[in-house]
Amino acid sequence: MSNRFKSRYDDDINLFEGRWHLAQYAILMALLLAAPWLLGTYYLGELTAVLVWSLAGLGLMLISGHTGQVSLGHAAFMAIGAFTNLALMLRGWHFIPALLASAVTSGIIGAIISRPILRMSGIYLAIATLALSIIIEDVAIIAEPITGGVAGVFAPPIALFGMEIDRYATPHAFYYLCLAVLVMVTLGYLNLLRSASGRSFLAVRDSEVSARALGVNVARAKTLSFSLSCAITGLAGALYAHLAQAVNYESFLVLISITLLLQVVIGGLGSVHGAFFGAIVVVLLPQLIAIARDFLDNAAGIKIAAYPGMDTALFALLILLMVIYEPRGLYGVWFKVRTWLQLFPLYRKGMFRRTRTYLKTERQR
Amino acid sequence: MSLLQVKDLSISFGGVKAVDGVSFTVEPGEVFTLVGPNGAGKSTIFNLISRLYEPSAGQIVFDGQDITSLPAHKVAGLGIARTFQNIELFDHSSVLQNLLIGRHCRRNTRWFEELLFLPKVRRSERQHRLLVEEVIDFLDLAAYRDKLIAGLPYGVRKVVEIARALSSEPKLILLDEPASGLSVEETQNMAWWIEDMQKDLGLTVLMVEHDMSLVSRVSNRVLAVSEGRPLAMGTAAEVQADPKVIEAYLGTEATS
Amino acid sequence: MDILQLLVSGIANGCIYGLLALGFVLIYKASEAVNFAQGDMMMLGAFLGVTFINTSYADLPFLVGITLAALILGLFGYLLDRFVLRAIFGQPQFAMVILTIALGFLIRFVAGVIWGHDPTSLETPFIGLVWTVGELMIPVVDAVIIITTVALTAILYFFFARTRLGVAMQASSQNQMAAYYMGIPVKRINAIVWALSGVVAAIAGVMFAAKGAVEPSVGLLFGIKAFAAAVIGGLGSLPGALLGGLLVGIVEPFAGRYLPSGVGQIAPYVLMLLVLILRPGGLFAQISQKKV
């Protein structure tokens, strides 16, 4: 089924490679649309969380995965998006303009700080963004009129299309809202990736010097990527605020920034799929642990003490193994499995052998 | 009128004059080669022309326009494309994508149009692809079109880098050691391609190369540089016979 | 006088930051990697110190306790490199960042399981002792911290500048492949450096627990601040790390005292951002343009 012959340039330009590929995603979409009937309220809530974290992951993936600029501070932009949205809604704004304002505010703030920040690279950029995240934590406490100080803000219900959407009262409606935002952002993301801007991001990631020689304005490409990334993350922050119903500075601790980066790494840096895979792991891992614990308790009588932070530790262990054995993340695993299925029974073991790279100094850029 | 004029170009790194008052002109349609021992400043001259380095003195005029203080990313749009001594391809992308990035300076769509993938963007993508396919045909890269760079042999990468430069529809192409690391056969092919670029595409070629057989075969004029200063100019044979050039290559003992 | 008092406390704190920053710089100098678990290794060192020295645990003499903690953490660093980090040898810097972040999470979890989450202090022989110089009161623990830090920095500086091993370490950080060809045992050097940074982290940890209280999550923020100190110093320079540490240590109490509440604690990060923005490679920049 993968042996299709391309006969038009549009085969490479289109989002879907042929009917079978389109059908796969149509089925996935149908399943997602049917989810409220397939899942109970609790799991629908978890699935909504997957959608929201996927959105945040997409935002980070754009700058870190596709433009190669590691950010350890993206929770800051979730915070900006969340507080903007809530503050505006509490001042009487309608949800949609407030949501757009979240994206625009995060994007603009991202654009403003991107110029000085993105002159750094590698480790310096990572630590600068980390510092940014810590600073925003404090700003979230100080800027009390907007953020509600230490206590935080409660999310008002969303009035949309004559309905009142609330995460608990109408979980279906909130789920569809998140799904709609995510699908639109994903399509825009893919559109960008298949045209000149997206290619310029990849160029900046792989070789700044040759990107520049080919006419890419590197500083501009980074700024564009960073501010779009911040805008997407801001959207995710706004939706997260409604998912959590209440947010304060603790909702966007620097730890969230770090986890978000680990999320896209575990999903697979540099792939759109990775953002989704990562979110699934982050949201569902604690569930899996709880289920496993109950199962062991009931079936085998083994009691495992509930140490605090066990899910984080397991997540960290997963990351550890992933970095060592499969640096391309879950996307890499998925890719191998897919190739194995497509080539069956012709798959060879050495097919994805990695070429050894050797560390060269990063003091030269 | 000359396509490229370089006047009294100089640059120093930490007190060392890497390029010291180099002047030359490249006429339209010729293959002009810089030769010289390692560290003579040939690649530095390339980096100055493609504006990656800031000259401390001198002037660079391309196609009647002074580009001495132009930002580096605007150079490609004027029609100067280049390759690098140690290949600088986008390793995690396919050959096709690399060549499409080569079209970046000819883009005519804005990011928000691309976000929505308006019909205009699709038309533009088709157009870019059409032109890239011509380059693929020209350099015989069809077999590698969808392959990732990371898995390609060295010789093919060299060709892909030239293809990427050609994709930007340049008037002048700078080739930094196109034959380094290539086998005899591959060097042979490279010579044909350089000749084709000159004759079929009407390109002007500025080249740095050590392989004198390639240099003699394709170059119209050769400039020898040593320690950042020009030594001799002329045909390949003339330059090779110049005593100052021989001295620069073999050291001072040779003449004494 | 008030200012002097703040200064003394700031310098002592800054020394601990500096010690931890030394650990960062050591690893950066040798393998150009950044160990995001450095703060958590310090936390581990602090708990080891507590375990060996406190009367409710092993009740060993102070110096014996420190030495044991340093040895164990040194071994830990060595084993870490030998069995975990060696597996990603040669991969880009970024892989190391992610790996050490994950390691930090794991260390924090394990420490929580072993020692619990209550803040614990180290019982030092000089607990509560104070030297009075005029009106200035210098806690002995501060003096000990300052002296230890200066001595350790001097030793390490000498080691990198003068010994063959130290120079080999520097070479291997700049180009592993080339260093390899030159006959430098790059892998063994990495292991030694990690062991060394474990030792430094243990000493920093013991100092930390002597001055304050340790609990599993202190490593994260303290580590980030120490990293900020290392970056301010330029990441490649040992005296720079100490200087950066002192700067952060001194800025913190003064900002806490004189700036509105809430702004004080972010002062170190703002300082670091300013340094990075004005000099993207730190105060002692080492980044140069890539040659093409």
Report whether pLDDT(B186) > 50. yes
| Mean per-residue pLDDT, A308-315 | 82
Does A188 contact B at CB distance below 8 Å?
yes
pLDDT band at C286 (very low <50, low <70, confident <90, very high): low
Burial of A281-310, coded b for 16+ CB within 10 Å and e otherwise, reads bbbbbeeebeeebeeeeeeeeeeeeeeebb
pLDDT at residue C139, rounded to an integer: 86
pLDDT at residue A151, rounded to an integer: 86
pLDDT at residue B193, rounded to an integer: 93
Contact A140, A79 (CB under 8 A): yes
Out of B74, B130, B150, the one facing A355 most closely (by C-beta) is B150
ipTM for this model: 0.90
Which of B54, B89, B90, B171 is best to mutate for the A interface (most A CBs within 10 A)? Answer: B90
Burial of B43-56, coded b for 16+ CB within 10 Å and e otherwise, reads bbbbbbbbbbbebe
Give CA B67 to chain center in angstroms: 17
Out of A199, A207, A228, the one facing B104 most closely (by C-beta) is A199
Number of domains composing chain B: 1
pLDDT at residue C284, rounded to an integer: 61
Contact C122, C46 (CB under 8 A): yes
Residue B172 in any domain: the answer is no
pLDDT band at A357 (very low <50, low <70, confident <90, very high): very low
CA of B96, closest CA in chain A: separation in Å? 10
Report whether pLDDT(C90) > 50. yes
For A39, list phi and psi in degrees, rounded to 5. -115, 155
Contact A362 C273 (CB under 8 A): no
Contact A191 B116 (CB under 8 A): yes
Torsion angle (degrees, nearest 10) of CA A15, A20, A22, A24: -120
Closest alpha carbon to C27 in C219, C237, C190, C231: C190
> Closest-CA residue in chain A for B162?
A214
> Closest-CA residue in chain A for B127?
A9
A28's tokens:
């996935």
Report whether pLDDT(C138) > 50. yes
| 3 state SS of C289 | coil
| Mean per-residue pLDDT, B142-168 | 92
Please report, rounded to a whole number, the percentage of residues in chain A having pLDDT higher than 90. 50
Please report, rounded to a whole number, the percentage of residues in chain C having pLDDT higher than 70. 93
Burial of B69-106, coded b for 16+ CB within 10 Å and e otherwise, reads eeebbebbebbbbbbbbebbbbbebbbbbbbbbbbbbb
Contact C102, A323 (CB under 8 A): yes
Contact B71 A209 (CB under 8 A): no
Flag the least confident range among A275-284, A301-310, B179-188: A301-310
H helix and E strand count, chain B: 10, 10
Query: Does C287 or B155 have the greater pLDDT score?
Result: B155
Report whether pLDDT(C99) > 70. yes
Flag the least confident range among A306-320, B101-115, B204-218, C237-251: A306-320
Does C290 contact B at CB distance below 8 Å?
no
pLDDT at residue A50, rounded to an integer: 96
Residue C50 in any domain: the answer is yes
Chain C residues whose CB is inside 8 A of the A261 CB are: 98, 101
Q: How many residues does chain C have?
A: 292
DSSP C237-274: -HHHHHHHHHHHHHHHHHHHHHSPTTTGGGHHHHHHHH
pLDDT at residue C156, rounded to an integer: 86
- Chain A from 98 to 127: CB within 8 A of any C CB: 116-117, 119-120, 122-124, 126-127
Question: If you search the block for the tokens 């004189």, which residue do you land on?
Answer: C258
Task: Please say whether the dihedral angle defined by the alpha carbons of residues A193, A198, A203 and A206, taken in this order, is positive or negative.
Answer: negative
Query: Does A365 or A205 have the greater pLDDT score?
Result: A205
Domain ranges of chain A: 18-352
CA of C173, closest CA in chain A: separation in Å? 7
Does A2 contact B at CB distance below 8 Å?
no
Please report, rounded to a whole number, the percentage of residues in chain A having pLDDT higher than 70. 92
> Closest-CA residue in chain A for B114?
A192
Question: If you search the block for the tokens 């600068």, which residue do you land on?
Answer: A128
Closest alpha carbon to B159 in B134, B128, B133, B135: B135
Chain A to chain B, count of Cβ pairs less than 8 Å apart?
A: 110
> Closest-CA residue in chain C for B86?
C292
Does C288 contact B at CB distance below 8 Å?
no
Q: Which residues lie below 8 Å from residue A51, measured CB to CB, with a gap of 6+? A: A175, A178, A179, A182, A239, A279
Report whether pLDDT(C182) > 60. yes
For B207, list phi and psi in degrees, rounded to 5. -135, 145
pLDDT at residue C281, rounded to an integer: 63
| 3 state SS of A248 | coil
Flag the least confident range among A171-185, A202-216, C107-121, C130-144: C130-144
pLDDT at residue A273, rounded to an integer: 92
CA of A364, closest CA in chain C: separation in Å? 4
pLDDT band at C259 (very low <50, low <70, confident <90, very high): confident
pLDDT band at C283 (very low <50, low <70, confident <90, very high): low
Contact B141, B152 (CB under 8 A): no
| Mean per-residue pLDDT, C42-47 | 94
pLDDT at residue A362, rounded to an integer: 46
| Mean per-residue pLDDT, B158-180 | 94
Contact C102 A319 (CB under 8 A): yes
Report whether pLDDT(C274) > 50. yes
pLDDT band at A350 (very low <50, low <70, confident <90, very high): low
Give first-to-last CA distance, chain B, whole Å.
Answer: 42
Burial of A203-235, coded b for 16+ CB within 10 Å and e otherwise, reads bbbbbbbbbbbbbbbbbebbbbbbbbbbbbbbb
Residue C282 in any domain: the answer is no
pLDDT band at B131 (very low <50, low <70, confident <90, very high): very high
For A178, list phi and psi in degrees, rounded to 5. -65, -40
CA of A143, closest CA in chain C: separation in Å? 10
> Closest-CA residue in chain C for B14?
C288
Contact A215 B52 (CB under 8 A): no
Which of B88, B96, B154 is best to mutate for the A interface (most A CBs within 10 A)? Answer: B88
Contact C204, C45 (CB under 8 A): yes
Query: Does C16 or A308 have the greater pLDDT score?
Result: C16
Chain C residues whose CB is inside 8 A of the A310 CB are: 109
Closest alpha carbon to C11 in C141, C129, C188, C102: C141
| Mean per-residue pLDDT, A285-296 | 84
Flag the least confident range among A104-108, B50-54, B75-79, C81-85: C81-85
Contact C288 A120 (CB under 8 A): no
Report whether pLDDT(B153) > 80. yes
The DSSP call for residue A6 is: P
pLDDT at residue C74, rounded to an integer: 95
Contact C291, B44 (CB under 8 A): no
Rounded to whole angstroms, the Cα distance separating C17 from C268 reads 11
Q: Which chains touch C (3 or more CB pairs under 8 A)?
A: A, B
The DSSP call for residue A349 is: G
Rounded to whole angstroms, the Cα distance separating A194 from A14 reads 9
Contact C93 A128 (CB under 8 A): no
Report whether pLDDT(C3) > 70. yes
Rounded to whole angstroms, the Cα distance separating A241 from A233 reads 12
Residue C137 structural domain: 2-219
| Mean per-residue pLDDT, B217-229 | 92
CA of A141, closest CA in chain C: separation in Å? 8
| Mean per-residue pLDDT, A66-83 | 94
Contact C98 A262 (CB under 8 A): yes
Rounded to whole angstroms, the Cα distance separating C224 from C253 reads 17
Does C277 contact B at CB distance below 8 Å?
no
Q: Which fold has domain A18-352?
A: ABC transporter involved in vitamin B12 uptake, BtuC (1.10.3470)
For A159, list phi and psi in degrees, rounded to 5. -100, 120
| Mean per-residue pLDDT, C9-18 | 90
Contact A42, A198 (CB under 8 A): no
For C11, list phi and psi in degrees, rounded to 5. -65, -40
Query: Does B153 or A331 have the greater pLDDT score?
Result: B153
Per-chain mean pLDDT for chain C: 85
Does C292 contact B at CB distance below 8 Å?
yes
CA of B129, closest CA in chain C: separation in Å? 28
| Mean per-residue pLDDT, A131-138 | 90
- Side-chain-facing half-sphere of A2: CA atoms under 13 Å: 7
Query: Does A353 or A131 have the greater pLDDT score?
Result: A131
Chain B residues whose CB is inside 8 A of the C292 CB are: 43, 47, 52, 84-86, 88
Per-chain mean pLDDT for chain A: 87
pLDDT at residue C1, rounded to an integer: 59
Q: How many residues does chain B have?
A: 256
Q: Which residues lie below 8 Å from residue B110, measured CB to CB, with a gap of 6+? A: none
Residue B59 structural domain: 1-70+208-256
Report whether pLDDT(A360) > 70. no
Q: Which chains touch A (3 or more CB pairs under 8 A)?
A: B, C
> Closest-CA residue in chain C for A318?
C102
Does A209 contact B at CB distance below 8 Å?
yes
Residue A136 carries which side chain, given as an amino acid letter?
I
What separation in angstroms does the CA of A330 have from each of A171, A270, C144?
A: 29, 12, 49
Residue B6 in any domain: the answer is yes
The DSSP call for residue B148 is: B
Contact C287 A365 (CB under 8 A): yes
Residue B236 in any domain: the answer is yes
Q: Which chains touch B (3 or more CB pairs under 8 A)?
A: A, C
Report whether pLDDT(B220) > 90. yes
Mind listing the pLDDT tens digit for each residue in B14-61?
778 889 999 999 999 999 999 988 888 898 999 999 999 999 999 999
pLDDT at residue A217, rounded to an integer: 94
Contact C224 A134 (CB under 8 A): yes
